[in-house]
Amino acid sequence: MKKLFALLLSLAMVFAMAACGDTASNNEGGGNSNAGNADTGGEEGGDTAGIAAGDLQIGLICIHDENSGYDLAHIDGLRAACSELGIDESQITMRINIPETEECYDAAIQLADAGCDIIFSDSYGHQSYMALAAQDYPEVTFVACTGDQAGVAGIPNLKNIFPYTYESRYVSGVVAGVKLKEMMDNGEVTDPHIGYVGAYPYAEVVCGYTAFLLGIQSQVPEAYMDVQYTNSWYDLTAEGEAANALMARGCVIIGQHADSTGAPSAVQAARDAGSNVYSVGYNIDMLSVAPEAALTSAQNNWSVLYKATLQHMLDGTEIPADYAVGHSEGAVMISELGESCAEGTQEAVDAAWAGIDDGSLKVFDTSKFTVDGAAVDSYTINTSIIDFTTGNTIYEGQEYEAIVDGAFQESVFRAAPYFDIRIDGITELNPS
């Protein structure tokens, strides 16, 4: 059965790739989210009649359940968006603990058969199965949160949404940087060594930890960072072990792009044992598990993206293939500052947010980093989708110059992150 499904999936992708060839060549904006508002992927047909709020049926596929901070953020975000739009919670059907396998396809078609008008999935690895379901159910809208295929797949009812996570990563790095500077000024630390627990060596993670370090370096320019991958989005034990390994190497602040409380809990345990270490979390406020260690967490307000997408359904207007927005729209934030934060942290945070919002602060300002000691003044990104297990191109995208006016243009040419530059000052301890 699995071999047959894999064959069908491969054939579907081949047909979709063939279909999208003309779409890409005839759509100058193909794959370009244009700050979250472009209409990409070659959609045809224009607006249609909307759906009344009381009639809209919504599906949500989650890779884990509410015990995962990442999935909880999606569940809470969808519920909040529905509440604001007058959609009753009973109109949401969820499928939880759905792995990135054909089980996602099964869940998607079950939701479609149950009458859902729009179906969201919350994990990157779900999207190939969402694409297959979208082709089988063209009257249903399928939205892959954190996906990157919709702008080039040529499937009109497949969409991607993603917040500007790099903005909150940067500002959480500012929080860590102010603390690190205080520790160095007080003589508590002489080596500005930072650690980061990452899930996978994907662009999404690379983009985030790079922004985190750049935020730290805005306060302590000599700071540097080690990254330990867990090769899992959610693994309490592995994330705790990774944090411990980083602290054993001398890292004094541990950031994370992983979905559990494992790393902050390990840092709190180390503090309880006498180590002078701190944590910056992700998704949820970590003060409940790390009351002295947690400085803040980078967070996404998914309700903003869900609400905007659902509003299109209610209005009968076209949903952009790629939709991405950031702090100025309320889509990203950081959690409450912990009691261990240094004096002046809030002022530094406020200044960073103001600069991001008015455009005077560019997170990936190329004057702020180097690669092999040299400045980066040009970088080509390709929005094609590659099967990294085989090296085969699944969907053919376009190439873009990513460095414009001295800054890397993240989440402009598609919603999902594509910043994958390995800058100086960051060491991946286990990149493969």
- What pLDDT, on the 0 to 100 scale, is given for residue 254? 98
- What pLDDT, on the 0 to 100 scale, is given for residue 44? 38
Strand ranges for 15-85 from DSSP E: 58-61
- What pLDDT, on the 0 to 100 scale, is given for residue 69? 87
Domains by residue range for the chain, with CATH:
1-38 (no CATH), 165-300+331-428 (3.40.50.2300)
Of 201, 209, 154, which is closest to residue 385 (Cα–Cα)?
154
Exposure on the CB side of residue 33, measured as CA atoms within 13 A = 30
Strands in 158-163's sheet, in edge-to-edge order, are 92-95, 58-61, 118-121, 141-145, 158-163, 322-325
- CA 54 to chain centroid, in Å, comes to 31
Distance separating alpha carbons of residues 158 and 365, to the nearest angstrom? 33
| φ, ψ dihedrals at 282, nearest 5° | -145, 145
- CA 37 to chain centroid, in Å, comes to 18
Q: What is residue 257's DSSP assignment? A: E
CA dihedral 37, 40, 44, 46 (to 10 degrees): 0
pLDDT beneath 50, residues of the chain: 1-46
Continuous segment of H or E residues that includes residue 211: helix 203-217
- What pLDDT, on the 0 to 100 scale, is given for residue 170? 98
- What pLDDT, on the 0 to 100 scale, is given for residue 48? 67
- What pLDDT, on the 0 to 100 scale, is given for residue 388? 63
Distance separating alpha carbons of residues 209 and 201, to the nearest angstrom? 10
- What pLDDT, on the 0 to 100 scale, is given for residue 427? 98
| Contacts (Cβ under 8 Å, ≥6 apart) of 258 | 197, 198, 199, 230, 232, 233, 234, 235, 239, 242, 282
